[in-house]
Amino acid sequence: MNKRSFKYAWVLDKLKAERERGITIDIALWKFETNRYYCTVIDAPGHRDFIKNMITGTSQADCAVLIIDSTTGGFEAGISKDGQTREHALLAFTLGVKQMICCCNKMDATTPKYSKARFDEIVKEVASYLKKVGYNPEKIPFVPISGFEGMYTRLVVLELYLWGRVETGILKPGMVVTFGPTGLSTEVKSVEMHHEALQEALPGDNVGFNVKNVAVKDLKRGFVASNSKDDPAKEAANFTSQVIIMNHPGQIGNGYAPVLDCHTCHIAVKFSEILTKIDRRSGKELEKEPKFLKNGDAGFVKMIPTKPMVVETFSAYPPLGRFAVRDMRQTVAVGVIKSVEKKDPSGAKVTKSAVKKAGK
């Protein structure tokens, strides 16, 4: 492919299309251990065409490593109004990733090589933007690196069964879980992390788990597994959200239908009714039933998903209650969910193993 700089990324990118095109398309997981920590690394694509996959990986992270192109022109493109450095930082904060490390990559390609002046320039500009997003730059380490000259090899870890992040509660073998939005219920056969069996998985764990009597077609990315006996996940008929318009060229009114990225779900939603416009800082109501919202405005909006999806209130389940709104290949708004009207599934499947387990 005549792309020497891709030789290390090629090790981790396992899809044929990724290796042929020289870009990361899907997320990949691998682990490393220290004396104190057991870490799962989620490698996510940076290309804007695959932002959905980046969001899927980011939504499951505790800490983000923001890779910044330090080359002349590369950094300026990334930090520009529509650049991916800005968008990835905004999405990370929106998706609840409160810890960040900034790596200024390609320092071997600056003029002169490993230029301190260039590094300081990047730190100053990125820190300023991160502060606007909501991060505290004083708590974010900036590290100059060279992914090409440094020995940063990566290893492929194959996906295990179903996989996901435990957001609340526990997951353990023998549990009966219900998958929203369809209502499918089945028994968890085993829980694993990097090929090692677990007796239970706790909040923050990224795990693979095997379920009984379920076909692959019955489950999709974005489904939510929940305890069948304790507030099982259900489809959202509609929900009311507090939204801040960040980057839209015009006005947003009733009927607007962008894509909403919430946890690992990417589904178009309809802004069925703009209920109020509010002050961003105080939350005080400024206008009831406004005709539109524009850049800088905040308000409460009733939303209706165009396809079945699971969301929750931010107060009850924060990772399932925060979202980004995307349109025109960019993030146009962010928000949190205040209330959800749910509907019971019709014809929900209950597997034999779930019935047997419930009868014990």
Token code pair at residue 153: 């090899």
Give 129-154 pLDDT, tens digit per residue: 999 999 999 999 998 888 776 533 22
Q: What distances in angstroms separate CA 91 from CA 8, 270, 331, one per listed residue?
A: 26, 21, 8
Q: Which residues of the chain does CATH 3.40.50.300 include?
A: 4-144
- The fold adopted by the segment(s) 162-233 is Elongation Factor Tu (Ef-tu); domain 3 (2.40.30)
**Of the listed ranges 40-54, 93-107, 176-190, the one predicted with least confidence:** 40-54
> Which pLDDT band holds residue 13 (cuts at 50, 70, 90)?
low
Q: How many other CB atoms are found less than 10 A from the CB of residue 303?
A: 24
Q: Which residues of the chain does CATH 2.40.30.10 include?
A: 162-233, 235-343
Mean pLDDT to the nearest integer, 210-237: 86
pLDDT for 231 equals 87
Q: Is the pTM here over 0.75, yes or no? A: no
Rounded to 5°, the CA angle 200-205-206 comes to 110
CA dihedral sign of residues 199, 201, 206, 210: positive
Q: Averaging pLDDT over each range in 14-23, 28-37, 186-195, which range is the top one?
A: 186-195
- Residues above pLDDT 90, as percent of the chain: 43
pLDDT for 219 equals 83
> Which pLDDT band holds residue 299 (cuts at 50, 70, 90)?
very high
**Of the listed ranges 125-129, 154-158, 205-209, 252-256, the one predicted with least confidence:** 154-158
Q: How many other CB atoms are found less than 10 A from the CB of residue 145?
A: 17
- The fold adopted by the segment(s) 4-144 is Rossmann fold (3.40.50)
Mean pLDDT to the nearest integer, 267-291: 93
Residue 315, phi then psi, degrees to nearest 5: -65, -30
Buried b / exposed e over 245-276, threshold 16 CB at 10 Å, is: bbbbeeebeeebebbbbbbbbbeebbbeebbb
Buried b / exposed e over 107-137, threshold 16 CB at 10 Å, is: bbbbeeeebeebbeebbeebbebbeebebeb
Sorted by sequence, the CB contacts under 8 Å of residue 350 that are 6+ apart come out as: 184, 185, 186
Q: Is residue 233 within 8 Å of residue 177, measured between CB atoms?
A: no
pLDDT for 61 equals 84
Higher pLDDT, 48 or 229: 229
- The fold adopted by the segment(s) 235-343 is Elongation Factor Tu (Ef-tu); domain 3 (2.40.30)
Answer yes or no: is pLDDT of 236 > 90: yes
Mean predicted lDDT score pLDDT of the chain: 84
Answer yes or no: is pLDDT of 124 > 90: yes
pLDDT for 16 equals 56
- Residues above pLDDT 70, as percent of the chain: 87
Answer yes or no: is pLDDT of 4 > 70: no
Q: Is residue 65 within 8 Å of residue 140, measured between CB atoms?
A: no
Mutual angle of helices 84-94 and 51-58, in 10-degree steps: 40
